[in-house]
Chains A and B, each alone.
Chain A
Amino acid sequence: MLELQSVSKTFEGRTVLADVSLMVPKGATHGLIGSSGSGKTTLLRITLGLIPFDKGYVKINDQALLSFTPVEWADRIGYVPQDGGLFPHISAKNNIALIARLRGWRKSRIDDRVEELRKLVDLDAEILTRFPREMSGGQKQRVSIMRAAMMDPAVMLLDEPMAALDPLIRRSLQQELKSIFQRLNKTVLLVTHDLGEAVYLAEQITLLHEGRVVQTGSYRDLLLQPATPFVSQFINAQRSLPDAEAFQ
């Protein structure tokens, strides 16, 4: 379970986040959505423990972020950066195994875990020997998910997983992702600017605007009972996008 309570952050006198709260129950997938400048990237970095915040708390399974060292926290949260964020200088396998090696895992244990995850995300074994520049966008995304899941974290955090992908392949990857999430059985927070993606993958959606939570609920709630006119405005603005059509 991932819980953010009244998280606030000011930067150079400007309020970036004000009293942001959201809760993702164990095993659920939650979408955090907002346009650029809404504060969602700041919230993501706070959740990852990369930057300090002024007020509130972040907890995973009732344990607060501030009670852990950065290394301990990193093992509790599996991060899938935008475009996969693979390190370009090492192979897919080494990207996946990097942290486990630094933590002193034995080779056989690493190999077993990589194999288990490879089957789970349905990736060809040969891809593991490739360097990131030799992989397609979808392959990178899957390798990145394997890397994030390697240490068996309680929570997975995905940043704009589809943003860099070709629209044609985006749909099939979305389906793949949904089933991967189900098989992984992780608590997932998905950060995106794309409403269609959030609606497809997440049960609950939090809409962030100018550093504040505007509304949290299902797509149906947002559509039929918008908390403010901005919610309708935001939904309508994205309805013309091809991805959104599928959910009307």
Chain B
Amino acid sequence: MACAADSIVIGGKIFTESYILGEMAAQTIEASSHVPVTRKLGMGSTGILFEGLKSGAIDLYPDYTGTLAEAILKRPELKSLDEIRQALSDMGLTISGSLGFNDTYALAVKEEFAEKHGLRSIGDLIPIESEIRAAFSYEFMDRKDGYPGLIDSYHLGFSPQKINRMEHTLSFQAIEQNAVDLIDVYSTDAKIKKLNLRLLKDDHNYFPVYQAVWVARKSFVEKHPSEWQALLGLEGKISEQTMLDMNAQADIQKISFAKIAAQFLGAEAPAAHGWLHEVARRTKEHLWLVGVSLLFSVLVGIPLGVTAVRYHAAGQAILLSSAVVQTVPSLALLCFLIPVFGVGTKPALAALCLYSLLPVVLNTFTGIRAINPIHLENARAFGLNGRQVLFRVVLPLASPTLLAGIKTATIVSIGTATLAALVGAGGYGAPIVSGLSLNDVPTILTGAIPAALMALVAHGIFEVLGILLIPALYPLSRSFSCFTSTSVLGCNPSPNKLGDI
């Protein structure tokens, strides 16, 4: 893939620690090499990063041994670094040694709650198991070494109605507001400190070891041996306490990831660009995503809509399939597209194109169906051929509905494109995603406000376009009627004297 060939692409997951480690890898390479580095931090999930690594869209990213064994290799019995490295080798991947800390899953409760119920270890939850209200992340709920195995290991009988699945960062808010009692955390998460949570001891040693490592493509290691060596220089350098402190600097003191990484490396932080520069860059990325998908929806959606009117059976198939696409959750659609398109802009564009198709197809179909058939018969009586009927009569008459469909597609696309950041496509979603992981509202707003503004501007542009392009069918434009009782045909052109009729 082009970007990986020209520069070293570093991925990262959507939580603070991964951002810091990703930034650390980027700065380490920048300090030791002239090869440009592209940061694709804050991508949606392990699966997305893994696909990106395999397809060559990214070169390396930080991950954890437990995650690699369980989620990628599907062989939870693999424990040692060597075993895991050996298994990954068959996939063309390799890992470094441990960076020095173990960031495992842990269960956390509020300190007051722990005191009240005398909780020290996970086993202490059993007496109050039916009352516990918990919020667990999607990944924790679904991984074998997460919730399902935990229940078996400790014979816990939680009440299923009181177990909520939610986005990891939101579960911290939930416990802070006492909406839940128990959450899953990463053991180095700074919010443990901030929210004064108590980690429950894992007496059974159930949770696997999660040593932080670099995961890289072997072809990258071969092509850039000195850069890889520089990264290996960080092995064993980051202790658990150091990592927790760095996470706290990001989450609590709101210090930028780049600055934290630079401090650790004893280097100058790369010059930070102002927020204006950031917004401009994200706007460009977002406009590209929305623009291309819009062009696609117009060029493909309108002909599909016309076809749907012309051929009944094909029409139903077209409308049904574009409706089905719309029901697929955006994140799921992105994941489905990654094996085909890799990560980055391509899968994001593909998803946006598919999403923006339905409003255009449906409105083309509805707009044409709503045309009074008299106009079509008249057009044929005047000697217009099929093409002329389509372009001179059908599409212009359907254009208000059609334009409304394109407008809907655009606005939906502007909103959905914020998810593109999860597959490394950037756009306004990037600050939203990183702000969410930091629980940092101002950062979220640098993405959310421009996205909302862009939607407003798009709305305005389409209103104006409607009035300019099809004034006859837009009632906002000039309107005056003419009724005189004496001369019907020779009407006075001045606005009528009877007032507005």
Interface residue? B381 (CB, 8 A)? yes
Interface of A, secondary structure class, is helix
Q: When the two chains form their complex, are residues B381 and A88 in contact, meaning their CB atoms are under 8 A apart?
A: no
- Enumerate chain B residues within 8 angstroms of A147, measured Cβ to Cβ: 382
CB contacts between A and B, total, < 8 Å = 101
Q: Which of A85, A99, A139 contacts B375 (CB 8 A)?
A: A85
The interface-forming segment of A4-12, A22-30, A128-136, A191-199 is A128-136
Contact with A along B374-393 (1 / 0, CB 8 A): 11011111111100100011
Q: When the two chains form their complex, are residues B489 and A123 in contact, meaning their CB atoms are under 8 A apart?
A: yes
Q: When the two chains form their complex, are residues A99 and B383 in contact, meaning their CB atoms are under 8 A apart?
A: yes
Q: Which of A70, A127, A176 contacts B493 (CB 8 A)?
A: A127
Q: When the two chains form their complex, are residues B489 and A176 in contact, meaning their CB atoms are under 8 A apart?
A: yes
- Enumerate chain A residues within 8 angstroms of B480, measured Cβ to Cβ: 134
Q: A134 to B482, alpha carbons, bound, how many Å?
A: 7
Interface residue? B466 (CB, 8 A)? no
Given contacts A98-B392, A122-B490, A139-B491, contact A75 B383 (CB under 8 A): yes
- Enumerate chain B residues within 8 angstroms of A137, measured Cβ to Cβ: 488
Interface residue? B473 (CB, 8 A)? yes
- Enumerate chain A residues within 8 angstroms of B489, measured Cβ to Cβ: 121-123, 138-139, 142, 172-173, 176
Interface of B, secondary structure class, is loop
Chain A residues within 8 Å of chain B by Cβ, number: 44
Q: A31 to B388, alpha carbons, bound, how many Å?
A: 32
Interface residue? B182 (CB, 8 A)? no
Q: When the two chains form their complex, are residues B482 and A135 in contact, meaning their CB atoms are under 8 A apart?
A: yes
Residues of chain A from 63 to 114 with CB closer than 8 A to chain B in the complex: 70-75, 79, 81-82, 85, 87-91, 98-99, 102
Given contacts A88-B472, A91-B472, contact A136 B382 (CB under 8 A): no
Chain B residues within 8 Å of chain A by Cβ, number: 35
- Enumerate chain B residues within 8 angstroms of A136, measured Cβ to Cβ: 481-483, 488, 491
Q: Which of B377, B397, B483, B489 has the most CB of A within 10 A?
A: B489
Chain B residues within CB distance 8 Å of chain A:
374-375, 377-385, 388, 392-393, 396-397, 399, 470-473, 478-483, 485, 487-493
A-B contact sample (10 more), CB < 8 A, given A79-B381, A124-B493: A85-B374, A87-B379, A87-B393, A88-B473, A90-B396, A102-B388, A139-B482, A139-B488, A139-B489, A172-B488
Chain A residues within CB distance 8 Å of chain B:
45, 48-50, 70-75, 79, 81-82, 85, 87-91, 98-99, 102, 121-124, 126-127, 131-139, 142, 147, 168-169, 172-173, 176
